[in-house]
Structure 1
């Protein structure tokens, strides 16, 4: 019978399976809690759990708010609004698409199919890719969450906005010159049709929250582990070296693949690193991480990904360092 299921039914079944797996793990942990307490009752683990819970509790409301807002906009406005907003001239369309990310936010994983759909509707690839980079990085939810993560530091919020917008626009303009020589798979829209607006909204919320929350938990666990278990002199040694700190935070952002609505809280928890290194983390992550690289390779082809991914990483790190030196 599974062959006759619709995509919506399959996604619902997958979500139910995930829910039962989580429920089963919780039941096992509750049943074994007396056996586990004696093994986890340690000062270091208590510190780790405190930092981990603090990061998750602080960032979850912004993650939920970002997912809801992005889902509402994706359901009601869609990529057709972007297509009408951008000028026909790609040189002018690139910065307009970057600014459109302020009003039309979206999560990183949704930006790839949206960019593909824009291209299939006739939008220049460089313009669509600019929107792909800007939408998860410069929207109001991300900026507000950054302000909460760095209280009393409006310069950090401004630096993140400017560096992220600069990254998306520079990559767009560079792709206008370089992209014509790079073969791409035919862009294809991947949005499901036939479902009502309410069902599409619920599907988007469920997918984005489950996807992003998993990476948030992983990132919080790793950040808490760095602050707790890595010897302080090692962290200080890495953080004290300007180039090594920037490279470390860029690699961390690429591998951990956090949601942009929550990554500022993880960055703020890494207190040993400079503000510029933290900015690199917050700019690189929404622009390019391991999941985005794999999605782009599948959507546009491996040849495209091998050119586009290094370009984005280079421009993102360079933009963050330049803006961090200027504003921070």
Structure 2
């Protein structure tokens, strides 16, 4: 016989154990502080508020800023930066406009018909064709991808990719303006860049593999009208090339101000180190080819051969180009093509400088 079930008194049922309470039904704390926090997070800060904060900050820091702006070093930095920008921007804009015209209004199949069928002969012809493409390397990469899609041999397309940003009329004219007392720099840049493009094209014929290239696509202009595609290409190139130009001009101005003159002079006095230093600097700065001559001209401590290496390497191997090549052609391609191009460009620039400079 079972024991009778105990009936709890009413008072016992009113005070359940804390461990038996379902957490989902636990009473929420007062909304005071949490509601205020949510309101602050949800609040949006507009441009007016940002502008007001900047003005207040300028008013608070007006005396330290006035002292800083009057410093000779900052005045020198501003002078170098503005001079590089003022000289380079017209060439950049003109090059971007003409590059967009060619990319949109010239049929892509034209390049395939214009090149010889034999790959070894197509390489120098494609390299020389870079003369008629006024534009920077930002436009040459997608155009080279289009050439491969249209059936052009990759060796010729890659030679065109390397030559076009370095030997087109806009770049050579900008180089002549930047080096008015050294016209041989124009010839040296054209010859060295053309030789590097052909050597890399022939090396690809000899050593390259088709599976290293992932066939590119350029969907950003597909399906658009000519006018819309033109302005889309202009906006793309101006944003990318213009941004890198500003960074490059800032870096050049900073080098002139922050790096002690004796350091630059010590580096410039060693021919091999100076060439490698400016070649590496060209990779890091990633300046558009229409503007890099003005930055090179500002590095007057270095020899003409070192600055020629800067001008030859920059349009062919830099950080933005490596990333663009990896995105369009694939990482396996960029990991092999960029280091090989850098080595060939430095070697050819040194040989060209020894002969022409």
Q: Tell whether the 8 Å contact from 2:309 to 2:346 is kept in structure 1 after alignment.
A: yes
Q: 1:257 aligns with which of 281, 286, 300?
A: 286
| Larger RCO (CA under 8 A, 6+ residues apart) | 1
| Alignment-derived partner of residue 146 in structure 1 | 175
- Please list the CA deviations of residues 146-197 of structure 1 after superposition, one character each: whole Å capped at 9, or x if unmatched: 0000013221100001111111111001110000376322344445222111
Q: Tell whether the 8 Å contact from 2:103 to 2:143 is kept in structure 1 after alignment.
A: no
Q: 2:254 aligns with which of 225, 236, 256?
A: 225
Deviation at 1:109, TM superposition (A): 1.8
- After the TM superposition, list the runs of 4 or more consecutive aligned residues in structure 1 that deviate by more than 3 angstroms: 24-31, 186-191
Matches of residues 1-328 of structure 1 in structure 2 within 5 Å? Answer: 28=54, 32=58, 34=62, 36-180=65-209, 183-190=212-219, 192-328=221-357
Q: TM-score, normalised by structure 1?
A: 0.88
For structure 2, list consecutive stretches of 5 or more residues without a partner in the other structure: 1-45
Structure-2 separation of matches of 1:181 and 1:50: 49
Structure-2 separation of matches of 1:208 and 1:275: 30
Q: Tell whether the 8 Å contact from 1:113 to 1:190 is kept in structure 2 after alignment.
A: no
Structure-2 separation of matches of 1:196 and 1:322: 47
- Please list the CA deviations of residues 260-284 of structure 1 after superposition, one character each: whole Å capped at 9, or x if unmatched: 0000000000000000000000110
Equivalent residue pairs, number = 307
Structure-2 separation of matches of 1:85 and 1:169: 17
The structure with the largest helix share of the pair is 1
Q: CA 1:290–1:30 in structure 2 vs 1: closer, same or farther (change >3 Å)? A: farther
Structure-2 separation of matches of 1:275 and 1:324: 7
Structure-2 separation of matches of 1:313 and 1:30: 49
Deviation at 1:112, TM superposition (A): 1.9
Structure-2 separation of matches of 1:78 and 1:286: 25
Structure number, greater radius of gyration: 2
Q: Tell whether the 8 Å contact from 1:104 to 1:135 is kept in structure 2 after alignment.
A: yes
Structure-2 separation of matches of 1:243 and 1:148: 27
Deviation at 1:25, TM superposition (A): 7.8
- Please list the CA deviations of residues 279-324 of structure 1 after superposition, one character each: whole Å capped at 9, or x if unmatched: 0001101011111111212222222112111111111111111111
Deviation at 1:204, TM superposition (A): 1.3
Deviation at 1:29, TM superposition (A): 7.1
Q: CA 1:122–1:29 in structure 2 vs 1: closer, same or farther (change >3 Å)? A: farther
